[in-house]
Structures are given as C-alpha cells and as structure tokens.
Chains A and B, each alone.
Chain A
Amino acid sequence: MAIDEPHHSAAHLPEHVAAPIGADEAARALRNGPVGALVVASIAVALLFIGWIAFYFLLFLPRGPVG
C-alpha cells in the first residue's frame, strides 16, 4: 500500500459487514430506544457499583480505621 494512501478498515466495505438496513427499519428497531445498548450499559454500571460495594464492605471496612 502506498504510504500516502488513506487507510480504510475492512469494515468500511459494505460487503464485509451485515446487510445495511433502511431508515424505516431503523426507526422500527429504535421505537423503544436503543434497548440493547442500555442493557449493556446497565450491566457494566451494575458490575462497577457491585464491585465498589464489595470492596468497601468486604475489604476496606474489615481492615479497620488507621487514624
């Protein structure tokens, strides 16, 4: 590849990705919002929160105050 040729990822080519959907289909899929993205974000945030609680109560507090 020539050094001055811009880089395009493989996903840039339509034949390398899933079939694109039209605006109407996208609107139908999103009529209740991006539910899948919200589920993924909720799981990530829930894990973070549970991790914080677990560290605080199971690790930090049992080690006792130092001041």
Chain B
Amino acid sequence: MAEPPENPLQRPLADGIVPEEVVARTENRWVIIMGTMLAVMMAVIVVTGVAGALHPSSNVEVIDPLTLHLGGEFAESNLGTAIEPDGSATVRLIGEQYDFVPHCVRVPANTPVKFRLTSADVVHGFLLPDTNVNTMVVPGFVAEVRTSFSGPGDYVMPCHEFCGLGHHAMWTRVSVLPKDQFAARGPLERTRCAKQ
C-alpha cells in the first residue's frame, strides 16, 4: 500500500510558538469572562427565584386511583372549575386513557388558577402551552400546579407522556374567559365547556 505524500500542513508547530505570556493572559481573561457569565446566570436565577417565589411544583398527595369515581374530591360531580371563597379558581381534572375529564374547562382571566389532577390508569402528562405549567399526572398521586392567564383565549392541553396507543389523540383545552363573561355564565357552564 502506497504511503500518501507528506502534508506540510500536518507538521506540528514548534512548542512555544505562542508566547507564554500571551497564553497566560488569554486564559486568565477567558476564565474571568466565563466566571462572570456563570455568576450573572446564578445571580439571575437566585434573585428572580427568591423574589418571585419560583420553584418546581412539589405537591405530594396520595389518592387511591381505584376509588376516584366513588366519591371524594375527584368524583364526577366535583370535576371542572370551582370558584373558591377568595375568588381564585380550582380546576380538578382526571387523566385517563385517552382524555382528560372534563374534556374542556373554563377559567376566568387574571385570576389565580390552581389545577389539581390525578390519573385513573397510567402515567399521563399535563402541559399548558404559553405557560410554565408542565407536570406529570401519576396514578395514586395528586399533581397540583398554579398559574394565571393574562388574557382570554383557548389553550390546548396535550398529554405529553406516552400513555398508550391513543396517546397522540389525547388532548383537551382550557377556555379562558374575561372575568365578567365568566361570572355571567351559569354554574354548569362555568364548570366545564365540553358538549354534554
């Protein structure tokens, strides 16, 4: 086998071709730049986290998935949106193959909304685009996330945890109404917006 001709470009450069003081100065500056960037990012995370009380949703509550339908918080009559005495909204949903129940919920805009979810069968995922709401829905546990919607609109809620053959079709929506329009709805219309 013939050896390829020698390539002068592959000739190693002599050691010390870049002056040592230049190497040291460049490395020092680079370390300072990297350190500053990391410090800024950490400071931003810590300051905004503390000031805005940002933290992952960390609710740990257990529930028996076999008896959800028999009564208690996740009985069918209790699902959907409920307005609390302080004016905030609580939305209770059950994830099951392959839908969230109820299929559509209404909530008022510019109001604190607490989503409480659980699963009746397998692990599902709950995600609201354009918000930071993103949680897993695990059978046996109650997931709780809080957010508020700044304006009216429809938000689709896809299941983002593969849950079986019908997973791709598992999505539902939150319909956000202006506060006055929400208050003007009848009790059942406020609770959910899926066609009965």
Chain A residues near B (Cβ < 8 Å):
4-6, 8, 12-14, 17, 20, 23, 26-27, 30-34, 38, 42, 45, 49, 52-53, 56, 60-61, 63-67
Q: 22 A-B pairs, CB-CB below 8 angstroms?
A: A4-B1, A5-B1, A6-B1, A8-B4, A13-B7, A14-B7, A14-B8, A20-B8, A20-B11, A23-B17, A26-B17, A27-B14, A31-B18, A56-B44, A60-B132, A61-B52, A64-B132, A64-B148, A65-B52, A65-B53, A65-B146, A66-B56
Is B33's beta carbon under 8 Å from chain A?
yes
Q: Which of B4, B26, B33, B52 touches A33 (beta carbons < 8 Å)?
A: B26
Q: Which of B13, B17, B37 touches A49 (beta carbons < 8 Å)?
A: B37
CA distance A56 to B137 in the complex (A): 26
CA distance A4 to B131 in the complex (A): 57
Interface range for B: 35 or more
Q: Whose C-beta in chain B lies nearest to the C-beta of A53?
A: B44
Q: Which of A6, A33, A63 touches B131 (beta carbons < 8 Å)?
A: A63
Is B9's beta carbon under 8 Å from chain A?
yes
Interface hub of A14, A32, A38, A64 (most chain B Cβ within 10 A): A64
Known: A13-B4, A67-B57. 13 other contacts (CB 8 A): A5-B1, A8-B4, A27-B17, A33-B25, A38-B26, A45-B37, A60-B132, A63-B147, A64-B148, A65-B55, A66-B131, A66-B145, A67-B55
